[in-house]
Amino acid sequence: MFTGIIEETGKIQTLRKRAGGIEIEITCHDILDDLSVDNSVAVDGVCQTVIDCSSTGFSVYAAAETLSKTTVKHWKTRTVVNLERALKANARLGGHLVQGHVDSVATVTRIIRKQETCLLNIRLPQEWAILTVLHGSICVNGVSLTIARKSGLIVTVSVIPFTLNATNLHTLKKGDTVNIETDIIGKYLYQFQKESE
């Protein structure tokens, strides 16, 4: 479980094809102090298991299922990714409950700069758009954000300067794809309603 509060960004160092997936080496600094093999790390919102650690980074294995549902398949050497270690039981929940189970990829349709704040318009697939609500939470590339506006399949999120600069969201361009995870509470409520009909 994660919070969507990014601890640092890392860079893809190497990608190696393995049977049924890809082994990915990521360079970073801040999260290494208590990171070990078998720990969970959200990498751009994708929950991954650490398979190796070093003094300069760590490695994970992305299976075919992960590649088919996320932006991982588009990563290249030097791609910047958002990193968050799993939530500790005694930690503050600064964002919202994030599982690290990416629902889908979505497309950035517009980027609006308003002084130092940035508004991102993101087009969601229909099956996930129905699980979003105005002022509800959504996870974009692992970042917990609040939905400021919603119109059909388009949600607009407002990104404050600190979050913009501390994550890879400042690198996004119109047409880019992002990993999205809708709010787990909304999923449970929607499923309960469907089963009650």
Asked whether 181 and 98 are in contact (CB, 8 A), the reply is yes
Domain around 28: 8-85
Residue 156 is predicted with a pLDDT of 98
Q: Do 192 and 108 sit in the same domain of this protein?
A: yes
Q: Domain with 146 in it: what CATH number?
A: 2.40.30.20
Q: Do 110 and 158 sit in the same domain of this protein?
A: yes
Decide if 191 is inside a domain.
Answer: yes
Q: Do 109 and 169 sit in the same domain of this protein?
A: yes
Domain count of the chain? Answer: 2
142-175 pLDDT per residue, tens:
999 999 999 999 999 999 999 999 999 999 999 9
Q: Do 112 and 184 sit in the same domain of this protein?
A: yes
Q: List residues bridging with 84 in a β-sheet.
A: 42
User: What CA–CA distance (Å, rounded) separates 42 from 60?
Assistant: 11
Query: What does each of the 197 residues of the chain score in pLDDT, given as a tens digit?
Result: 899 999 999 999 999 999 899 999 999 999 999 999 999 999 999 999 999 999 999 999 999 999 999 999 999 999 999 999 998 877 777 778 899 999 999 999 999 998 888 999 999 999 999 999 999 999 999 999 999 999 999 999 999 999 999 999 999 999 999 999 999 888 888 888 878 87
Residue 93 is predicted with a pLDDT of 75
Decide if 92 is inside a domain.
Answer: no
